[in-house]
Amino acid sequence: MYTKSIRELGLGLKNKEFSSVELTKHFLERIKKFNTLNALITTTEEQALKAASQADQKIAAGIQEDLTGIPILHKDIFCTNGVKTTCGSLMLDNFIAPYDATVVTKLKDAGAVCLGKTNMDEFAMGSSNENSYYGPVKNPWDTAYVPGGSSGGSAAAIAARLAPAATATDTGGSIRQPAAFCGITGIKPTYGLVSRFGMIAFASSLDQGGPMAANAADCAIMLQAMAGFDERDSTCVNRPKVDYVAELDKPIKGLRIGLPQEFFNDKLNPAIADLVHNAVKELEKLGATVKSISLPNGHLCIPAYYIIAPAECSSNLARYDGIRFGYRCKDPVDLEDMYKRTRSEGFGAEVKRRILIGTYVLSSGYYDAYYVKAQKIRTLIANDFIKALNEVDVIIGPTTPEVAFKIGAKNTDPIAMYLNDIYTSSVNLAGLPGLSLPIGFVNNLPVGMQIIGNYFAEAKILNVAHQLQQVTDWHTKVPAEFA
Amino acid sequence: MNWETVIGLEVHVQLNTKSKIFSGAATAYGAEPNTQACAIDLGLPGVLPVLNSEAVRQAVKFGLAINAKVANKSVFDRKNYFYPDLPKGYQISQFGHPIVLGGQLQITLEDGTRKTINLTRVHLEEDAGKSLHEDFKGKSGIDLNRAGTPLLEIVSEPEMHSAAEAVAYLKTLHALVTYLDICDGNMQEGSFRCDANVSVRPVGQKEFGTRAEIKNVNSFKFVEKAINYEVARQIALLEDKQAVIQETRLYDSQKNETRPMRSKEEAMDYRYFPDPDLLPLEINDEYIQQVRDTLPELPNAKRERFCKEYGLSEYDATILISSKAMADFYETVVKNCGTANAKTAANIIIGDMNAALNKHNLEIQQAPISAAQISKLILRIADNTISGKIAKTVFETMWENQEDPDTIIEKQGLKQVTDSSAIEQVIKQVLEANPKQLAEYRAGKEQLYGYFVGQVMKASQGKANPDQVNKLLKDLLQQ
C-alpha cells in the first residue's frame, strides 16, 4: 500500500480494497518499524485510528473527498490542538497547543488522518536536521547522510514511505532542499497562499507552509486542501481558488523555460548540472522551449537572507521567556537570571546564533547598514525574477549545488551550511512559488530540480512537474531498505 | 536669572473599542486577572495579529478632529524589549510612519486667554499587561487582561510653558476624546495617561535645556504638581551650577516629588522594525471622508453655539462645554425648561451643581440629581414659586435626599409669598419694630433701605417675593 499515490489509495478506499483504519495501521507500523530514521517526534496513534474510523464511516456513507481517510504527517512546527508541538526545541518540549493551525484544520476538514508530528531543525533553522533537540534525522537513501532541513523529518518520512504526504514549511529552502536530498517532491507556495496562523514563526516575511509527497500530483491534492484565505493571517491573500489537480494533465506544449545562467556556475556539482539538462531535454520533448536568462542579483541572496531572517527571528523568538509557557530554567534567583538561563538552556546553538545576528543587525546604528540595505537587495532580487518571468513561464535550475552530505560534515561551518540555500532562498526573498522534484542520482544520492513560477502560478509548476513525472520514474524510487 | 519652562506632553488614550487592537478578546476593565486574554494576547507560538478596524476608525476620527493629516499609508512596527507583562517580547506600535501627523489643539487658560498647541504625531499601539508585585510572597503576578488594549499615543510639540498650560492642554484633550466617544476618559482606571517632558532654559535662549521625562501621571492635579516640582528641581540644579540629567523620572504623589527611574545610559535600544505580520495600513480619502461625516459637534463649535443660542457669556459656555457630559446635561435641562431660562440653568449648573460635584469629587454623570429635576427647580424660580435664594436651599435638599423640588418646597413650606397684603403686613411689623431706624431713614439716611429689605426677608423666612418687597417697602417708607 505504501507505494501507492494518494489518488490510488483513494480508489482503494472507495472500492473497499482496504479501510482507512487498515491503511492507518499499515503506515503506523512502518513508522514503528523504521523509527531509527528519527523522522517523527510524536506519533498520535490513538487520534489517528479514531480519525480513520470516522473517515471509514464517511466513505461508507458515500462521502469521499481526495484526502478522506488518507494518512498524513505534520511538521512539528504546526500547532495541533491537544498534541505536543515542539518546533524541534527543548523550549517547547512541554508545549501542548490549545488550538490547531489553520493548515491542520483545513487538512482535518478535508478528511486527512494525522499520524504524528515530524522532526525538524529547531525553529526551522537549519539545512541538515542536525539542529533538532530530538536528534538528527537520517536520510533513508543512506542513513549516514543528512536528509536536509529544516523539514528533514517530513522529507525522510515521505522518502521511506512512512506516509503518503506531509506538511512542511520553507523559509529559505526548508521544503525544497530536503525534498531534493530525499528524492521526493515538495512545493513552497507563493507567500500568502497558505495561512501562517498556528505555524510557529521563524521569519514571518519568508515563512510559507507547503506539502511534500512522492510526486507532484499528490502535492497538488495536498495543496488544494492547504491553500486559501484565512482572516486570522493578515498576510494571507484573498483570491479565487485554483484547481491544482485539474491543471495537472494540461499539455505543456509551448511552455517557455528559462535557465538562469548564474545557477549553473562553478559552485554547482557538474553531475547535477547534467541531470538538470537531461530533465529539461525531456520537457523539450514535450514541446517546451528553453532559453538562457539572467538573475544578476542572485549572488546577493544569501547575505540578504541571513540578515532579514535572523532579524525577524530575533523578534519572533522573544516570546520564549519562560514566563507563560514552555521551558523555564530551574530556581531562577531573579528576573534577569530567569531570562538568561531559560533562553541559554532552552535554545540550541544555531537558534542562539541567529538571535544574536538578528539582534545585532536591528540595533540602532546598524539598522540602516544591514536591515534596510538587505530589504533593498530583496527588492532587486524580486525585480530580477519579475523581469525574467515576463519572458518565460517557469525558471528551472538545480535545487541545491550538491547532493546530501554526511551527518556531522558541515555542522561546524555555518557558512558552508548556509550555502545549501544558494538556489532556494532567493525564491523566498521574492515571495515566489518553487517546487523541487527528483531527477536522478549522483553517488547513489537523489538530486532535485527546482521549478520556479510566477506569483500564484502553483498550478503551472505542478503541471510541469507532473508532466515530467509522466515520462520519468525517479519519483517512484524507494530506498531499498524501506521497500 | 529668569527661567522659561518648556513642556511637551505624550498622552496615552485607551480607545473604547469592544475588542483588542489585534485580537478578539474583550477589553472591559476590572475582570478577574487573565480572563480577558486569548492566545494572541498571551503571545502563544504561531498566533498572528489582525488589526481591529474600529481602532483605526477612532484614530482617524481623532486626527480629523485636530485638523491633522491622516496618513494614507502608515506602518506598524515592533518595539522590542523584554518585560514579564509584555507577552511577545515586543510591543506593536507605529514608529516611522504614524497614522496621524500634525494637528492643533486650542486651549483656554484660567484667565480666558487662548493658545494653540501644535501636535507632532498620533499613533496606534497596543498596551502591555500589568505586573502585580503585592500578595505573591516575594514573587510577581502577571495580569494580561490589559495586554493588547488599543492605545492612541498623542504627542505634542514642546510648546507649553507652565504647568497651568499643560493642565489646560490635558483638559482640552480629555474633553475632546470623550466628545469623540473614543475613550471613556477614566483617569483612575488608566484610560487617559500622561508622560510629561519637562526642561527649563534661560529666558531668551533658543536651544532647549536638557529634559526629564515624568512617567505616567494619572490626574490633572498630579500633573500640575509634578511639573511644578520638576521645574523647581531643575532651576535649583542649574542655579547651583549643576547639570540636569536626561532621564526618566517617576512622580510620587504621596511625597510630592519626582525620582529617577532610568537614565539615558540605561536607555533601551528598542530595535524597531516593520512588523512582518501586518501589512502597511492603507487608508483612502473616501474612507477619511466617511469618518469625517460622522464627526460630532466638537467643543469649540459647541461653545460658540452655546453663546449664540443661549445668550451665555464665553466664560460660562467654556465651563459648560468642558465635558460632553456636562454640556449634554445642560442642554437637557434647557430643553425641559425653555431657552428663556437658559441663563438661570447655566448659573445653577456652573454654581450649585459644580460646587456640589467638586465637594463630593463626582463627575456629572454620577450626580444624584437628574437634569429633569434641575429643570423643575428652574421652572419654580421662573414661575415665582420660589426665589433664587430659596432655590439654593431646595438644591441642597435635592442633593441630599434625592427628593423632587416640588415635594421639598411643599414639605418645608418654602413657597414664595406673593400676596401683597401679607407682605405689607410683614413690612408694617418690621417698621413698627424699628422706630429708631425708621426715623433716621425719614431724616435722610437712605442707606438704611437695605437694612429694611433684609429685615423683611428675614421676617418672611426668605419667602417674600423680592420684587414685591421692594415696591411695597418703598411705598410704605414714603408714608
pLDDT in tens, B375-428: 999 998 888 888 888 888 889 999 998 888 888 888 887 787 777 888 888 888
Task: Tell me whether residue A75 is one of the annotated catalytic residues.
Answer: yes
**Would you place residue A165 in the very low, low, confident or very high pLDDT band (cuts 50, 70, 90)?**
very high
Higher pLDDT, B146 or B460: B146
* Cell numbers for A245: 489537480
The 3-state DSSP class for residue A215 equals coil
**A365 exposed, middle or buried (CB, 10 Å; 0-12, 13-18, 19+)?**
exposed
**Model pLDDT for residues B21-44, shown as the tens digit of each residue:** 999 999 988 889 999 999 999 999
Residue B456, pLDDT score: 86
Per-residue model confidence (pLDDT) at position B197: 97
A97 to B276: CB separation less than 8 angstroms, yes or no: no
Taking the CA atoms of chain B, what radius of gyration do you get in angstroms? 29
- Residue among B47, B85, B92 with most chain A CBs within 10 A, to mutate: B47
Residue B218's pLDDT is: 85
Q: Is A312 on the interface with B (CB under 8 A)?
A: yes
Whether residue A315 and residue B51 make contact (CB cut-off 8 A), yes or no, is no
Looking at the predicted structure, is the pLDDT value of residue B146 above 60?
yes
Nearest to A197 among B46, B80, B88 (CB): B46
Q: Does A318 touch chain B (CB under 8 A)?
A: yes
Could you say which of A19, A151, A174, A436 is catalytic?
A: A174
Computed over its alpha carbons, how large is the radius of gyration of chain A?
21
Region A107-122: mean pLDDT is 98
Contact B45 A321 (CB under 8 A): no
Residues A84 and A59 sit within 8 Å (Cβ to Cβ): no
CB pair distance less than 8 Å for A201 and B46: yes
Q: What is the pLDDT of residue B435?
A: 87
Gap between the Cα atoms of A11 and A14, Å rounded: 5
Q: Show me where the domains of chain B are located.
A: 3-290, 299-412, 420-478
Distance from CA of A163 to the nearest CA of B (A): 25
For residues A244-254, give the mean pLDDT: 97
List A5, A20, A75, A195, catalytic entry: A75
What pLDDT does B437 receive?
A: 86
What is chain A's length? 483
Predicted local distance difference test score (pLDDT) of residue A248: 98
- B50 vs A97, A234, A317: nearest CB: A234
Q: How many Å lie between the alpha carbon of A456 and the closest alpha carbon of chain B? A: 19
Q: Under CATH, what is the fold of the domain B420-478? A: Arc Repressor Mutant, subunit A (1.10.10)
> CA B204 to CA B4: how far, in whole Å?
8
Query: In this structure, which topology does domain A6-257+391-482 adopt according to CATH?
Result: Amidase signature (AS) enzymes (3.90.1300)
Report the mean per-residue pLDDT for chain B.
92
Contact B45 A363 (CB under 8 A): no
Q: Is A76 on the interface with B (CB under 8 A)?
A: no
List, for residues B203-227, the tens digit of each pLDDT value.
999 999 999 999 888 899 999 999 9
Closest residue in chain A to residue B82, using alpha carbons only: A318
- Inter-chain CB pairs, A–B, below 8 Å: 99
Q: Point out the residue among B82, B271, B278 whose CB comes nearest to the CB of A234.
A: B278
Contacts with B277 from chain A: Cβ below 8 Å:
201, 204, 234-235
Is the confidence at residue A20, as pLDDT, over 70? Answer: yes
A198 touches chain B (CB under 8 A): yes
Q: What is the pLDDT of residues A340-367, one digit of tens each?
A: 999 999 999 999 999 999 999 999 999 9
- Specify the residue for cell string 546553538: A349
Q: For residue range B74-83, list pLDDT tens digits in order.
A: 999 999 999 9
pLDDT digits (tens, 9 = 90+) for B420-476: 888 888 888 888 888 888 888 888 888 888 888 888 888 888 888 888 888 888 888
The verdict on a CB contact (< 8 Å) between A197 and B47 is: yes
ω before A150 within 30° of 0 (cis)?
yes
C-alpha to C-alpha distance for B316 and B352, rounded to whole angstroms: 14
Determine whether the interchain pair B271/A315 forms a contact, defined as Cβ–Cβ distance below 8 Å: yes
Cβ contacts of A87 on chain B, cutoff 8 Å = 45
| The pLDDT value given to residue B266 | 63
Q: Is B94 helix (H, G, I), strand (E, B) or coil?
A: coil
Of A420, A363, A355, A436, residue with least CA distance to A128: A420
Comparing CA positions, the residue from B238, B148, B138 lying closest to residue B198 is: B238
Note the pLDDT of residue A381.
Answer: 98
Question: Residue B143 in contact with residue B13, Cβ under 8 Å?
Answer: no
Mean pLDDT of A399-417: 91
**The pLDDT value given to residue B112:** 80
Task: Give the pLDDT score at B134.
Answer: 80
What is the rounded CA–CA span in Å between residue B79 and residue A318?
11
**In the structure, what pLDDT confidence band is assigned to residue B264 with cuts at 50, 70 and 90?**
low
Confidence of residue B263 (pLDDT cuts 50, 70, 90): low
What is the helix (H) or strand (E) element at residue B8, kind and residue range? strand B3-14
Could you tell me which residues are beta bridge partners of residue B243? none
Contact state of A92 with B45 under an 8 Å Cβ cutoff: yes
CA of B91 to nearest chain A CA: how many angstroms apart? 10
pLDDT at B111 (0 to 100): 83
**Residues B42, A324: C-beta atoms closer than 8 Å:** yes
Query: Residue B265: is its pLDDT beyond 70?
Result: no
Q: State the cell numbers at B450.
A: 437695605
φ, ψ of residue B361 in degrees (nearest 5) = 55, 50
Which of helix, strand or coil describes residue B318?
helix
The rounded distance, in Å, linking the Cα atoms of A290 and A276 is: 12
**Nearest CB to A325; choose among B44, B51, B88:** B44
Q: Let me know: does A172 contact A421? Beta carbons within 8 Å.
A: yes
CB contact under 8 A, A234 and B142: no
- Which of A95, A231, A371 shows the shortest C-beta gap to B45? A95
Q: How far is A206 from chain B (nearest CA, A)?
A: 9
Provide the residue ranges of all domains of chain A, joining segments of one domain with +.
Answer: 6-257+391-482
Residue that is written with C-alpha cell 499615543 in the block: B153
pLDDT in tens, A199-232: 999 999 999 999 999 999 999 999 999 999 999 9
pLDDT value at residue B428: 86
- Give the list of residues 6+ apart from residue B343 with CB closer than 8 angstroms, or none: B310, B311, B312
Q: What is the DSSP string of A1-44?
A: -TTS-HHHHHHHHHTTSS-HHHHHHHHHHHHHHTGGG--EEEE-
Q: Is beta strand B273-274 parallel, antiparallel or unpaired with respect to B281-282?
A: unpaired
